[in-house]
Amino acid sequence: MRPRVIDRRGPASGPKRVGVLVSGSGTNLQALLDAEVRGALAPATIDVVISSRPEVPALARATAAGKPALVVDHTRFADRDAFETKLHEVLEQHHVELVVLAGFMRVLTERFVAHYPARIVNTHPSLLPAFPGIDAPAQAIAHGVKVSGVTVHFVDASLDGGPIIAQVPVLVLPGDDAKSLHARIQREEHLLLPDVVRRLAAGQLSCQGRHVVERAK
Amino acid sequence: MRPRVIDRRGPASGPKRVGVLVSGSGTNLQALLDAEVRGALAPATIDVVISSRPEVPALARATAAGKPALVVDHTRFADRDAFETKLHEVLEQHHVELVVLAGFMRVLTERFVAHYPARIVNTHPSLLPAFPGIDAPAQAIAHGVKVSGVTVHFVDASLDGGPIIAQVPVLVLPGDDAKSLHARIQREEHLLLPDVVRRLAAGQLSCQGRHVVERAK
């Protein structure tokens, strides 16, 4: 088993073994799987997919791609700590170095996050810090913004408040509703998330406090 | 004197006589003056420039462009109400229909704003609702965002919270500090603000609650 690197500045070469946590349809998981097939995720590899809910489409996507697909059903644990202990155990069994939240609907505790400093990434359908929390595209439409977008960020114990790795703006168009805006945001998300995973695995990114920067050559 | 239209949905033809409120260097004022000279502001006209401070460069810019340039020095009034009463009086004397805040450093009260419903616009160097208040580019750099931008919005009694008219994203580049980011935001601002004034004057925009939309033909 390779040693897990916990230096916040990241190793000279980045985390390559990826565990993807899902809860539902798994469209971001599919984008990652497709990127891996066409060689666009290397040197990262998807080594396990874990769902917090049984029988979701994301599990079928993982299985179809020949990936270990496991359920850690949060409703079957006495409390959050017990659930996260099991999650951590499965990730360790698969030697996961980088955890990607892809539509994973459980908030992770500080205790869990501490196992993976600057090693858990999440994707959020707004330009954070605007519109954290649920239904971000609907929040953006209600507020009347003209520009929203997608954010990929490191996860810390705050709600959608960890260091920002990458963002792409998406224009709100006349006549947009939350659904049409979200669909255009997702198209960018499906390009951005695999690219971030690739760059992290290649050791191209360094996290210094709140700032994620290109690593000096 | 033409009647002042206070219908929130706006008149079929928009407000054309513009008063610009300034406090300092006046680079946004210059962008408006330049746009007017090259015909890019029509049917809007800049009819008066008012500074809350004496002897600022913005006044010289206005004078050089042949515009009435007046000082309403906020330090010379007993209180905010007296200051705003004078401001309103000068704007009325010049039959101003649309008030543009261009680096104007005084917060306007609800009482003043009520004179110009959906007729006061401000420009802010971030993608609101992210980073309201002062030093928005520095806030953006400190937070570590990868995308910021510029917002032109209607002014209401909230701090930078009025209905958003237009936004343009600006990417944060590696090595950016608050100054370099602000400089790139200002380049977009100097294009966006005159364009918004033109579209408002042409009656192309309609404000419905928080939503500013293209007027139906």
Interface mutation target, options B124, B146, B177, chain A, most CBs of A under 10 Å: B146
Q: How far is A206 from chain B (nearest CA, A)?
A: 12
Query: Cβ of A217 under 8 Å from any chain B Cβ?
Result: no
Give the DSSP letter string of chain B.
-PPPP--TT--SS---EEEEEESS--HHHHHHHHHHHTT-STT-EEEEEEESSTT-HHHHHHHHTT--EEE--GGGSSSHHHHHHHHHHHHHHTT--EEEESS--SPPPHHHHTTSTT-EEEEESS-TTSS-SS-HHHHHHHHT-SEEEEEEEE--SSSS-SPEEEEEEEEPPTT--HHHHHHHHHHHHHHHHHHHHHHHHTT-EEEETTEEEEPP-
Using CA coordinates, name the residue in chain A closest to B175: A213
Q: Which residues in chain A are contacts of B142 at CB distance < 8 A?
A: 210
* Shortest Cα–Cα distance, B169 to chain A (Å): 7
CB contacts < 8 A (A, B) = 63
Chain A partners of B211 at a C-beta cutoff of 8 Å?
Answer: 144
Q: Which of B124, B153, B182, B190 is catalytic?
A: B124
The closest CB to that of B164, out of A144, A163, A209, belongs to A144
Instruction: Please indicate if any CB of chain B lies within 8 Å of the CB of A169.
Output: yes
What does the pLDDT read at residue A65?
97
Match domain A15-211 to its CATH number in 3.30.450.40, 3.30.420.130, 2.60.40.3670, 3.40.50.170. 3.40.50.170
Mean pLDDT rounded to a whole number for chain B: 92
Summarize pLDDT for B80-127 with one digit per residue, the tens: 999 999 999 999 999 999 999 998 888 899 999 999 999 999 999 999
Report the residue count for chain B.
217
Q: What is the pLDDT of residue B12?
A: 55
Report yes or no: B207 and B196 within 8 Å, Cβ to Cβ.
no
Q: Are A22 and A29 in contact (CB under 8 A)?
A: yes
A127, A131, A165: residue with CB nearest B147: A127
Cβ neighbour number for residue A82 with a 10 Å cutoff: 12
The minimal CB distance from B211 to the residues A144, A166, A214 is found for A144
Task: Scan for tokens 């360790």, then name that residue.
Answer: A92
Q: Tell whether A173 lies on the interface with B, counting CB pairs under 8 A.
A: no
Q: Does B57 touch chain A (CB under 8 A)?
A: no
Q: Do A164 and B145 touch (CB under 8 A)?
A: yes
Q: Does B166 contact chain A (CB < 8 Å)?
A: yes
Interface test with B, best of A121, A124, A147, A185 (most B CBs within 10 A): A147
The overall longest dimension of chain A from CA atoms, in Å, is 53
Window from A63-77, B1-15, B28-42 with minimum mean pLDDT: B1-15
The residue of chain A nearest to residue B209, with distances taken between CA atoms, is: A144
Is A152 an interface residue toward B (CB < 8 Å)?
no
* Nearest beta carbon to residue A145 from set B145, B167, B213: B167
**What is residue B10's predicted lDDT score, i.e. its pLDDT?**
45
Complex ipTM: 0.89
Identify the three-state secondary structure at position A93.
helix
The dihedral through the CA atoms of B158, B152, A159, A211 has a sign that is negative
Predicted confidence at residue A160, as pLDDT, reads 87
Peptide bond into B3 cis (omega under 30): no
Q: What is the mean pLDDT of residues A98-113?
A: 91
Instruction: State whether A147 and B128 contact (CB < 8 Å).
Output: no
Instruction: Report CB contact under 8 Å: B129, A142.
Output: no
pLDDT attached to residue A12: 54
**Amino acid B217: pLDDT:** 58
Instruction: Give the contacts of B46 (CB within 8 A, at least 6 positions apart).
Output: B18, B20, B32, B33, B36, B65, B67
Q: Which residues of A are catalytic?
A: 124
Tell whether B110 is within 8 A of chain A (Cβ).
Answer: no
Q: How far is CA B21 from CA B18, B52, B99, B156, in A?
A: 10, 8, 7, 16
State yes or no: pLDDT of B214 exceeds 90. Answer: no
What would the pLDDT profile of A112-170 be if each residue is shown by its tens digit? 999 999 999 999 999 999 999 999 999 999 999 999 999 999 998 887 889 999 999 99
Looking at chain A, the whole-number percentage of residues with pLDDT higher than 90 is 84
Residues B159-211 have pLDDT tens digits of: 788 999 999 999 999 999 999 999 999 999 999 999 999 999 999 999 998 99
Query: What confidence tens digit (pLDDT) does each residue in A156-213 have?
Result: 888 788 999 999 999 999 999 999 999 999 999 999 999 999 999 999 999 998 999 9
Q: How far is B3 from chain A (nearest CA, A)?
A: 30
Burial label for B140, CB within 10 Å (0-12, 13-18, 19+), is buried
- Cα(first)–Cα(last) distance of chain B, in Å? 28
